[in-house]
Structure 1
Amino acid sequence: MLSKLLILLGVEDSEIAADPAEQAIQYQERLTALAAEGKSVLLWLDNASDPSQFGPLRPASAVHRVVVTTRETFASVPKPQVVDVGVMESDDAVELLVSAVEARIPDDARLIEDPQTALRLAELCDHLPLALQIVSALLADEPDRPISELVIELASEEDRLNSLDYGGELSVRAAFALSYRRLPDNLKRLFRLLSVVPGGDVGLVAAGWLIDASHTAVRPQLMALVRSHLIQQHVRNRWSMHDLLRLYSAELSAEHPEDAERALKVIVVKYLLGVGAAADWLTGVPNDTNRRYFPTAQHAAAWFEEEHPTASAIALSVAKRPEREYRELTLALAVGLGEILGSQRHWLKEFHDVAVVGASLVPAAENRHYAACVLNHYGSALRKMRQFDDALEAFRRAAEVAEEAGLEWVAGAARTNMGNVYLDQGRDVDEVVQFYWEDVRACQESDPPHRRGEAAALSNIGGALGDAGRYTEALSPLREAMSICRDLDDKPGIASAGKNLGAVLGRLARIEDNQAYLEEAIALLQEAAEIYKERGNYSGWAEVANNLGQAQCQLRRFSEGIPNLEAALRYFEESGQSDLAKNVREDVESYRMDASGGRPWSATTLEPDRYRFTNTSGGRLAQITLAPFGATQVMVENSPDPHIVPEPVANGGSFVAVVRGRGMRITATAMPSMVPVYLDFSPA
């Protein structure tokens, strides 16, 4: 190599020494001479794999420059001298693709005329310059071929690396193989096995599971692969690889099927155990085994927040395997995932996808308990998506499967979930409550009694009665549900019952002018908020924050209540609950005006359906807030006599009025939005 460089630098072939050591001296002497003449040299060294390949070639004079390209990271090179070249942006990748095609066929307009397909081609190339050059060469070879055909060809993962090959000179697989062959055996094995884990990235602990190593032992190996640019650490303690490298890793893994199969089974079982332990912490009562996995609810929540995309990807991928063992493991995993995913609104799509996979396994499932549970989850997901007929069918199937297996309390839970759908459809509340009471009896009569299920059904009864405005009737089942949950130390159950009980007490406090009820409601809601918070349940926390904020504002504790309402509003908006968000937004605006006290009176138009139980006249609704000056005449509903609000009125005192033309009629309703929530219950 030095002899060729010396010739390029102007040294006569006859003057070049035969000994490599002497050639190195001649090389540096020639560069020094050129520097003295004011001539600089740029040396470009491509695809170096070891510092020994470029170290001796570094010029002594600062006039000259050396650029070394490599997939490796060399500790001997100072960091300020290193330029990390990241993945190309989409626009840059498309521009490179277009320019490369135009360089071969100047008048080729296929990519320009179809920019969306060009963008898809760049995505399938992972924005990798080598792959883009190969695609441009393939397009140039067939100028009449529609680019959509090449997209279809590359979309097949099984054939993509074969397609991205343009002879020995341009081959994505060959480029990857060059880096792979440089690795020691232990890193080759880890690189192969990383593609076994579905989902696109791998956590530190899971990477250790693949090779039966501790997280402290696997981290240096992962970072060695990062330095070889075969994987990347995209966030702390998680690693991923680009799609083309993942396909290459999968090819290599297929060459060692026994090791790959062992690794996959380990991953499935480990995630099943982790999800099961997390589910008990986050939605149930943890036992000693769960505590060995996660010492606290916060640890379980943090693990699930980080790992649930991988766990769901495992369920969706492994469900396709024909082996009975894998199908049973997937069913169990789907049940555990559903328990947690179903508890938060922003996970609805993932909850639905996992439930669909779980339900597909039910006909051949040996574990009929899990089969009934996953059908309950499937129905719950459909109900939340307002596909009520399909949800009812799923719950009916769940009840049938549970009854056939002698699991009466599970069947009762399915009937309770059917009741939830009936409420959504506007059925009479007394009819629906009978479903809930059947669930209560089934839980009480099971052997042993299923007290958590009983508490959940009682909470549903109270929530449904509260939603119907029958607050006094709702108190007893809600207090009983709370008592059972406290006996069991069921923290999620305490939060769920407390959310409904707090809402009902808040309503009664307004109707009966009972401040003790309001104080009790705030205490219950604060406890529920803390339970949801430590479990990372943003959905439950937002519902509680809404009710808590309402109660605090009713006590004129605006500095506490308005921020809680604003936080709840943000979650409702982000999770797509637009109707609820609209209601809370109106309340926040009203309470802000109440807090400022800057109006003699004002009316804010409200949604009619918010008062469907109290607005008997069916008129349009407005909230009237009175300041302590002036007098306001308002017509009372169902009364011919006007109602005079004399001076002074407590600043911020509020009524809800039905607007009729220019007149107003006062209804007997309380302030809005503290709506009790009735929840699906899907037993574990």
Structure 2
Amino acid sequence: MATADLPAVPAGFTGRKDDLARLMPVLDPSAESDLLVVICAVSGLGGIGKTSLALAAAHRAVRDGWFPGGTLFVDFRGYDEDPATAEQALIALLDRLGVRGTDLPQTATAQYALYRRLLAEEHHSMLLLFDNASDPAQLSPLIPGTDHHRVLITSRDRLTDLDARLIDLDVLKPEDAAGLVGRSLRLSDEGDGRAGREREAVGELAVLCGHHPLALRIAVGMLRKRRYRSIASLVEELRRAEDRTRALGVRPVFDVAYGQLAAEQARLLRLLSVAPTAEVSGEAAVALAGLPDEETFALLEGLASAHLVTPVSTGGEVRWRLHDLVRLFAAGMAAGGADLREEGDAARERLLAFYVRWAEAADLRFQWLPGMAEPERFTDRVRAFAWLDAERTGLVAAVQWAREERYAAMAVRLAGCLIRYLEWWRHLDDGITVARTALETTQRLGDHPGEAVAWNRLGMVLRSAGRPEEAIEACLRARDLFQDLGNRSGEACSWDDLANALAVSGRMEEAIEAHIRSRGLYQALQDRRGEGNAWNHLGATLQDVGESEEAIDAHARARDLYKAVGDLNREALAWTNLGTALGTAHHITEAIEAFTRALDIHRGFEDWLRVGGVLHNLAVAHELSHQPTEARAHYLQAADAFTRANAPNRAARAQSAARALT
């Protein structure tokens, strides 16, 4: 159990430079410390390489002469069925210190006293490496009472009850994982050049192993046995494996860790695995758990202490990530029986309801006008955008649940809430995915009104993605469906979107005709906001064909219609477009006035993205009127607005334009 000699560092140990850099200064006995006894505890998921790292650090320290008093090593077998107790370890340690037979005191109290006295009398620094501990009770009685020794502990759990420097060990970096495969293969056969020839396959193997050292070592063992087969063949087998954790031989590690969890912790681990992404926000975890916030966070912290989830701090918020192999294992447990599957399905419903609630609130904030009810939660557009940005990956992935009947209606509803945001922020691949999923689902359900809306939304995103011909086809499908349904408002909207797509494709005459058809339908419906949209978009198309004066008139009509219905947001957009048309017609003074009107409205809404855009336009207008000082000031203000809107690329471009004027 206890040895004076350190075990060897496992063959093939590689990487961990950053982790060694954190660990070595703590072990250095010459370093000053405020602690009575300097203890370092390395913790991490089973098989993550804690012992290998500890041994590598210990051997380096011994080589450098840091511990002339020697080393003591104890394997506590903390996660075996029969872990070592502190008393068992004590007797083994005393034996290594030369106390055995009749010299060994008869009582535990006397044995502990002798152990502490021997360490206190040993004036040369010693290193005590306590490996694979699971409980502070195994360790506390064995900690020396002097500060010139060092104690290094490894554990799967974060030993927060100890006054120790805690170092959490994560998986290997991708390049280190690949290096482990290549180095380990060459150790057994120096002529094995597969890793060098199949670099892409090595990278794929590392991903399938989750960059987990134990899984990688087991995979290397499999490759050694199949010496004359390619790495790619193993990659393909692992991809097809029903249970990759079992195929990689790491299932027993996870079984032990799972078996030691409290029932509520095990339940939350299963539920986290049914989330659409490996990383979720705290709010999303609460929705999955269906428990109060504090109870959920306590369970998450317990799972983090066991290294089954990893807390990730982003922008002041903590998110919770499952390692890929842990997620596969937990998903397998969640699918283990009818009751567990229903538990997971109910959790997905709760998460989807959470996503829909706040995505709808964010979308309503984008459309909000004075006099309307205030949307929940988001007091301005910036906060709405920030929430959508943080949750975007999960939101888009959750829409894919629409392919399952149980979630179809709510997932399509979620898709409708996201399109405006995804198109506005140019997440166009996600937008197309969301729109196509909604379309396929409404078609499968025979929901013709929903299908018409989905075709229209798909056309809008395809147009923004620079795929006008596909956008035109989608808008035509929407128009025809709306016509068949007798939905004249929907038909008017689809004509307008069709016109925009035709304009992007260069079919200007057809675009203008479609705008006019849309405008006529809106006029017949006495929908002044819709008519304003048609005029506004017609103005943009007229600008594109060089009809600046007609464009000015169209944007002015749109502005007046928006103003008549109290739609300040769209009025500001019309003022912006009017300013652009005036600038094109060389009416620079009037353009500046129009942009200024737009700026005042957008500032009133704290719509910093559009504030930045209008300030940029004002800067350009001042440049054209040979006012570089004013132009530079507006570029800098635009950069500030884009920064507030969390649009760093646009902020950088505005700052660059300002510097060009100095």
Deviations 1:598-618 (Å, cap 9, x if unpaired)? xxxxxxxxxxxxxxxxxxxxx
Which secondary structure state, in structure 2, belongs to the residue aligned with residue 362 of structure 1? helix
Aligned-residue offset at 1:315: 0.8
2:159 aligned with 1:78, yes or no?
A: no
Equivalent position to 2:505, from 396, 402, 425: 425
Deviations 1:471-493 (Å, cap 9, x if unpaired)? 32223332232233334443442
Q: Which amino acid aligns with 2:449?
A: H
TM-score (norm 2): 0.76
In structure 1, what is the Cα distance between the partners aligned to 2:380 and 2:179? 51
Which secondary structure state, in structure 2, belongs to the residue aligned with residue 111 of structure 1? helix
Equivalent position to 1:326, from 407, 431, 453: 407
Aligned-residue offset at 1:51: 0.9
In structure 1, what is the Cα distance between the partners aligned to 2:325 and 2:611? 41
1:467 counterpart residue number: 544
1:524 counterpart residue number: 597
In structure 1, what is the Cα distance between the partners aligned to 2:532 and 2:295? 46
2:448 counterpart residue number: 368
TM-score (norm 1): 0.74
Deviations 1:342-386 (Å, cap 9, x if unpaired)? 1233x1221122122222223223543332222112122222333
Kept in 1, the 8 Å contact 2:290–2:350? The answer is no
2:515 counterpart residue number: 436
Deviations 1:606-649 (Å, cap 9, x if unpaired)? xxxxxxxxxxxxxxxxxxxxxxxxxxxxxxxxxxxxxxxxxxxx
Q: Which amino acid aligns with 2:157?
A: E
Bigger shift: residues 208-217 or 452-461: 208-217
In structure 1, what is the Cα distance between the partners aligned to 2:389 and 2:367? 14
Kept in 1, the 8 Å contact 2:380–2:607? The answer is no
Q: How does 1:489-508 map to 2 (within 5 A)?
A: 489-508=566-585
Unaligned 5+ residue runs, structure 1?
A: 166-171, 597-684
Q: 1:116 to 1:9 in 2, by over 3 A?
A: farther
Kept in 2, the 8 Å contact 1:153–1:159? The answer is no
In structure 2, what is the Cα distance between the partners aligned to 1:99 and 1:153? 22
Q: Which amino acid aligns with 1:181?
A: G
Deviations 1:172-231 (Å, cap 9, x if unpaired)? 222233333333222222222112221232112221112223434433332332222222
2:204 counterpart residue number: 120
Aligned-residue offset at 1:22: 4.2
Q: How does 1:57-206 map to 2 (within 5 A)?
A: 57-78=142-163, 81-156=165-240, 158-165=242-249, 172-206=250-284
Q: Which amino acid aligns with 2:438?
A: G
Aligned-residue offset at 1:528: 6.1
1:240 counterpart residue number: 321
Which secondary structure state, in structure 2, belongs to the residue aligned with residue 363 of structure 1? helix
In structure 2, what is the Cα distance between the partners aligned to 1:394 and 1:466? 25
Q: Which amino acid aligns with 1:237?
A: V
Q: Which amino acid aligns with 2:428?
A: L
Q: 1:13 to 1:63 in 2, by over 3 A?
A: farther
Q: 1:482 to 1:288 in 2, by over 3 A?
A: closer
Aligned-residue offset at 1:52: 0.8
Kept in 2, the 8 Å contact 1:375–1:394? The answer is yes
Kept in 2, the 8 Å contact 1:154–1:160? The answer is yes
Q: How does 1:38-53 map to 2 (within 5 A)?
A: 38=124, 41-53=126-138
Which secondary structure state, in structure 1, belongs to the residue aligned with residue 546 of structure 2? coil
Kept in 2, the 8 Å contact 1:232–1:241? The answer is yes
Kept in 2, the 8 Å contact 1:194–1:207? The answer is yes
In structure 2, what is the Cα distance between the partners aligned to 1:7 and 1:485? 89
Q: 1:25 to 1:100 in 2, by over 3 A?
A: farther
1:552 counterpart residue number: 622
Deviations 1:57-105 (Å, cap 9, x if unpaired)? 22234444321112322333335x2233333222222222223333344
Q: Which amino acid aligns with 2:562?
A: C
Deviations 1:406-446 (Å, cap 9, x if unpaired)? 222212222222222222232344x4222112212323434
Q: 1:489 to 1:15 in 2, by over 3 A?
A: farther
2:336 aligned with 1:252, yes or no?
A: no
Which secondary structure state, in structure 1, belongs to the residue aligned with residue 579 of structure 2? helix
Which secondary structure state, in structure 2, belongs to the residue aligned with residue 340 of structure 1? helix
Kept in 1, the 8 Å contact 2:535–2:558? The answer is yes
Identity %: 28
Q: Which amino acid aligns with 1:373?
A: V
Equivalent position to 2:534, from 434, 452, 457: 457
In structure 2, what is the Cα distance between the partners aligned to 1:396 and 1:152? 43
2:3 counterpart residue number: none
2:350 aligned with 1:266, yes or no?
A: yes
Q: 1:452 to 1:242 in 2, by over 3 A?
A: farther
1:8 counterpart residue number: 96
Aligned-residue offset at 1:32: 4.4
In structure 2, what is the Cα distance between the partners aligned to 1:484 and 1:366? 37
1:675 counterpart residue number: none
Q: Which amino acid aligns with 2:538?
A: I
Q: How does 1:659-670 map to 2 (within 5 A)?
A: none
Kept in 1, the 8 Å contact 2:368–2:374? The answer is no
Deviations 1:649-673 (Å, cap 9, x if unpaired)? xxxxxxxxxxxxxxxxxxxxxxxxx
Deviations 1:21-65 (Å, cap 9, x if unpaired)? 4443443344446x15x4x54332223222112112222344443
Which secondary structure state, in structure 2, belongs to the residue aligned with residue 47 of structure 1? strand
Kept in 2, the 8 Å contact 1:496–1:528? The answer is no
Which secondary structure state, in structure 2, belongs to the residue aligned with residue 292 of structure 1? coil
Q: How does 1:266-345 map to 2 (within 5 A)?
A: 266-283=350-367, 285=369, 291-316=375-400, 318-321=401-404, 323=405, 325-345=406-426
Cα-Cα RMSD: 3.4
Q: 1:505 to 1:376 in 2, by over 3 A?
A: same
In structure 1, what is the Cα distance between the partners aligned to 2:633 and 2:428? 26
Q: 1:560 to 1:226 in 2, by over 3 A?
A: farther
Kept in 1, the 8 Å contact 2:519–2:531? The answer is yes
In structure 1, what is the Cα distance between the partners aligned to 2:332 and 2:371? 42
In structure 2, what is the Cα distance between the partners aligned to 1:525 and 1:361? 40
In structure 2, what is the Cα distance between the partners aligned to 1:288 and 1:154? 55
Q: 1:119 to 1:338 in 2, by over 3 A?
A: same
Kept in 2, the 8 Å contact 1:187–1:221? The answer is yes
In structure 1, what is the Cα distance between the partners aligned to 2:293 and 2:573? 37
Equivalent position to 1:388, from 463, 468, 474: 468
In structure 1, what is the Cα distance between the partners aligned to 2:101 and 2:489? 93
Aligned-residue offset at 1:20: 4.2
Q: 1:297 to 1:565 in 2, by over 3 A?
A: closer
Q: Which amino acid aligns with 1:412?
A: A
In structure 1, what is the Cα distance between the partners aligned to 2:233 and 2:319? 36
In structure 2, what is the Cα distance between the partners aligned to 1:406 and 1:358? 22
Q: Which amino acid aligns with 1:292?
A: E
2:436 counterpart residue number: 356
Deviations 1:262-312 (Å, cap 9, x if unpaired)? 110111122122212211212455996762343433332222222222111
1:397 counterpart residue number: 477
Q: How does 1:581-660 map to 2 (within 5 A)?
A: none
Aligned-residue offset at 1:503: 0.9
